[in-house]
Chains A and B, each alone.
Chain A
Amino acid sequence: MAKKTKVDARRKRASALLAQLHDAGVKIVNIKGQETMTLDQLTAASKLSKAALKDISTKGIDFTAWGAWTLRF
């Protein structure tokens, strides 16, 4: 029962988060059969800054580096 409660709580939070992201202007759509995005796909699909793209291309999709360049911290 405790595990079910925890799962239910997470589902509730996930639904709330989705709704708020939608209100913030994000649409999440299904792409059938697509694997994890490659860097080219990520580049095409996103608006990463040139500095971030350069960093990711040399260091890989590392969130620390991506954050540091794209997000300026």
Chain B
Amino acid sequence: MRSGFPRLAINARVHRRVEAILKVAERCNINCSYCYFFNGTDDSYKRHTPVIKFDTVTAVATFLREGVESLGLEYVQIDFHGGEPLLMQKSQFAAMCDHFGAVLEPVADLNLCLQTNAMLIDDQWIEIFMRHRVKVSTSLDGPAEYHDQERVDFKGRGTHCETIAGINRLREAVCRGDLDGFGVLCVINPARSASRIYRYFVDELGLDSMDFLLPQMTHDTFAGLPATAYGDFLCQLFDAWAADDDPRIQVRILNSVLSLLLGGRSKVTGLGAEMPLAITIASDGSVGPDDTLRTCGTAMIESGANVSSTTLAEFVNNPLMRVLDSAKENLSAGCRECCWQRVCGGGQLVHRHSARDGFNAPSVFCDGLKPFFAHVAAYLLVRGLPLGRLSEVLLGDAQALESAAQTRCVSIQNLP
């Protein structure tokens, strides 16, 4: 029975974690054409300070600490985000890391992460990452011929060369043992070859930690190739990764789908039924939900709350958070009837949104996600996953698939 307490707060207590996407800089040194932050429907960044001030940093630290104590959390992840977070002065960034450590490490397991375009990374930044154990993730859309199509500077010039220079500094730091590793995020463009991108990452750059993101599109903004093309891309990606059979190479979206199909949890928001507590804190301390909802319009990201005047426990009860919590739990009719519900969970909220129907729709990528899930499930079945196990995970009944197939015992074969 659902209590009157918001599910987000329940989830926070269950998972004992909060992820704070902290916009330390709301400006950028480049101008990616697909940027959801600067080139989308929301322009709230214009009203925020370009770089976070230290007063706000202290307020954020207090806000998170109070949240840890009141919600009984054990794990706090702060994602330094932007814009481009490395536009912050190095000394300020380091002081910020020191402050978060001093305030939060006594009460929680603190994880500091960074999402950067890598172009500003130099040896001094590497030293800061090392000293403060900041986990770095970079944005790279593949080889230059792909990356430079959309990831451009303010003069329209490609940024691949400078990005790779920064990535190479990270690789060298990993080789020296100064950093444990770093990750790469690639935005999916189905007009491109998934295997080309994967092979470029693995063979030419030696990367072993990556993720591929569906673009931030709603039902109102979806354009270009059909959703099925995204499914084809993901299937191709999966095949390339599976063929390597290399346990070192981690692809977060693939790990998440595999985990969910086996009855486990997703590694990312947007898959699975769970909705871990993720908030966005702007450079002026404004608190909002998951940053991706910015694509749904300013009303979906501005809660009216600020870290200086609210608490985390109060924020999860904010009317906007309640709306989003309800949207995640109350799926459209099509999603409720879908055999992939326990894996998909309806998909990311942003992908379900339209001005007309709100969140009452399947993901705009639904027609691509279904064949992708089936592709991965097929991989598992032909490698020995019992049909009953898959049936139990997806349908809640170990016999359901066998009954539907009208067999008593089954063997799984690839079709010729």
Contacts and interface: CB of A to CB of B under 8 A. Distances in A.
A11 B258 contact: no
Contacts of B410: 28-31
Given A11-B404, A34-B409, A72-B246, A16 B339 contact: yes
Contacts of A71: 255, 258, 262, 380
- What bracket does the count of chain B residues touching chain A fall in? 35 or more
A31 to B, nearest CB: 5
A17 B401 contact: yes
Interface string B337-380: 11110000000000000000000000000000011011101101
B407 interface: yes
B371 A28 contact: no
A28 B405 contact: yes
A24 B405 contact: no
A14 B403 contact: yes
A7 B97 CA distance: 54
A23 B396 CA distance: 22
Contacts of B263: 63
A13 B337 contact: yes
Majority-rule SS of B interface residues: mixed
A26 to B, nearest CB: 4
Given A14-B395, A72-B247, A73-B259, A20 B374 contact: yes
A47 B246 contact: no
A27 B413 contact: yes
A65 B409 CA distance: 24
Contact of B339 (A13, A26, A72): A13
Contacts of A27: 412-415
Interface of A: 9-18, 20-37, 42, 45-49, 51, 63, 66-67, 69-73
Given A11-B404, A29-B413, 6 more contacts: A13-B400, A17-B401, A18-B401, A63-B262, A70-B383, A72-B255
> Across chains A and B, which 7 residue pairs bring their CB atoms closest together, nearest first?
A14-B404, A46-B384, A17-B339, A24-B374, A24-B378, A20-B374, A13-B339
